[in-house]
Structures are given as C-alpha cells and as structure tokens.
Amino acid sequence: MNRRDCLALLGTIAALPAPVLAQQPVRRLGVLSVIADEVIGQARLAEALAADDWKEQLKIDWRSGAGDRARIAGFADELIALKPDVLLAIGTPSVEELCQRTNTIPIVFAVVTDPVSQGFVKNLAHPGGNLTGFTDYDGPLAGKWLEMLAQVTPKLSRVLVVYNPATAPFAPLMLRTIEDAARTLHVTVEPAPVDDIASIAALASRRDGGVLVLPDFFTMANRAQLLAAIGEARVPAVFWSRLFVEEGGLMSYSTDSAEQLRRAASYIDRILKGAKAADLPVQNPTKFELAVNLKTAKALGVTLSPGLLAIANDVIE
C-alpha cells in the first residue's frame, strides 16, 4: 500500500460513526437459578450489569429450575452448550450442577450457604479454581432462628425443621448448629424433610410445637402450599425469606437476595474485563432483616417478645 492509499484508508476510518468504531464483540452470560425469575430479581441483575456498561454488549441466557433438581440439571447442560464467557449460579443445586460440567468457565455464585464446607471453594479469601461469589447464610444463623421461636409465648418445647434434601444438601450443617442451640434452649428438634406437595401437606397434621424452614428454593417455589399447611396446623414458624412473612408467615430473619445479585453483577463485570474468579474473595452478607407479622401472631394466639419486636426491621400489622 502506497502513502496515498494509506492516507485514504485513514480518512475512511476517521469518517466512520463513533458507535461503529466502538463496537465490541457481544459477550455471553449464562444464569442458572433454582427459583423463578421474578422471585430472585432478574430485572435487578440486568439493571446492575447495564450500569456497568453491559447493556448492549452482553447476552444473558437465563434458566430457572423452579426448585426441581432434574430441570436444574437439564438447564445446566443447555447453558454449558452455549459456551458462555461467565456463568452465574443462584442457589446451591445450581452450583453443584455447573461444577460437575466445567472447571474452566468462570462461575459466580449467589444465595449459597457455607461454600467452604460444601467444597465449592478452598477458603473465602482465596477461593481458587473457577468459582467465587456471595454467601447468604452460615451455621450460627440457624441457631438465631431457633432462638426466635424460643421467644414465642407460650414457650415451645419442640420444633420441626423443614427442608428438601435434594435442594438443600447443606441442611446437615445447619441441623448440627440448631441441635447445639436446642440443648441450651431445652427444645427438642425434629428434622422434617419434604420433597413433594404430599409431604408438605402432611405438615398440617403436626399441631404441636413450632416450625423452622431452612433456606431452600424448593420451599420457596412451593411456599403457598407450605404456608397453607402451617396455617392449618396453627403453629408458629420462622422462615428464611421475608417473602414468606409478606404472604402470611409469622417471622423471618433473612438476607436480601436481590442485593446479592447486584453485588454478583460487579464480579461478573470484573471477570468479563479480565479478572480471574480465583482472585476474587468470596463475600459474606452484610445486611440482615427481621420481619414479623402481627396479624398472623394474633390469629395463632401467640405473643412475640418485646425484645424481638424492638429489633424488627419490618412489622406487618
């Protein structure tokens, strides 16, 4: 190419519209969620990524398993086949399924309990491998839930702990903490695994004691049936998400899942810009909220302690 042709080419490039010059390859994010989009906050994730300049240059493939482990596994296969640049795993079953299929694609997780004990990462500060992300609950918090039930009047002596073993594989970790707290509080703890609508409905016959519902997206997906069964049993219950209380449950002590997605978006942004998942520390939740439903308490004929009400972030009357 001679000097005249070179100058002509440079002039042509200079005349191109700015968007053409700035155009970058579209990147791909695969999201595997255990629960439905509207519950976990798909819109908030998209907003957070758009704020990081990924509105036009990132395609998001979202798959929701609705608390069904088989569907989650099938969607994991679909997402891996799309060859995304990064994956977002929401909930423990999503992390497990994606980890079984790739050790090279970066995975950011959110709403996951105790990722070290579950073997997802080496430690929080230096996760190693291709995973990092944001936790929601830890073992000691499970003891807090039991303490809340112990403050109900009349005093409880027996508590059922509800979870689905398939979608809450971390439940044994929490049960150990709950049983330790139970000895101090003089409460008998009874595991109550559920895995379908029939087993949830059977809870309606358990009319003594109280109920503690562990973090589990199966119970979230089937919360209407769960709340109906507990309401029929007329027993006090503590839940892992404020959404249960808004829909008629008695109490919850929880993190903000939507906030976790906003924080996860910052890690996705950094990975897309070249950071390694292994170099990004796993972060614990920084905000917890206590919600109580006084209308439900009155219907159950129970009294919530003044100390509990004093620290509540949200009191539904």
Task: Give tens-digit pLDDT for 263-284.
Answer: 999 999 999 999 999 999 999 9
**Per-residue model confidence (pLDDT) at position 121:** 94
CA dist 292 and 8 (Å) reads: 72
Q: Residue 50: its pLDDT value, please?
A: 81
| Residue 112 contacts residue 91 (beta carbons within 8 Å) | yes
What is the Cα–Cα distance from 219 to 39, expressed in whole angstroms? 12
The one-character DSSP state at 48 is: H
C-alpha distance from residue 161 to each of 4, 72, 200, 202, 216 (Å): 80, 24, 12, 14, 12
Mean pLDDT, rounded, of the chain: 87
Q: What is the pTM of this model?
A: 0.80
Q: Does residue 18 surpass a pLDDT of 80?
A: no
What pLDDT score was predicted for residue 188?
94
Phi/psi for 35 (5° steps) reads: -120, 170
Query: For the residues of 63-74, what is the DSSP string, one character each?
Result: EE-TT-HHHHHH
pLDDT of 142: 84
Mean pLDDT of 286-310: 91
d(CA 94, CA 75): 9
**Confidence at residue 46, expressed as pLDDT on a 0 to 100 scale:** 77
pLDDT-above-70 percentage for the chain: 90
Percent of the chain with pLDDT over 90: 59
Rounded to an integer, the average pLDDT of 84-89 is: 97
Q: Which has the closest alpha carbon to 204: 179, 184, 230?
A: 230
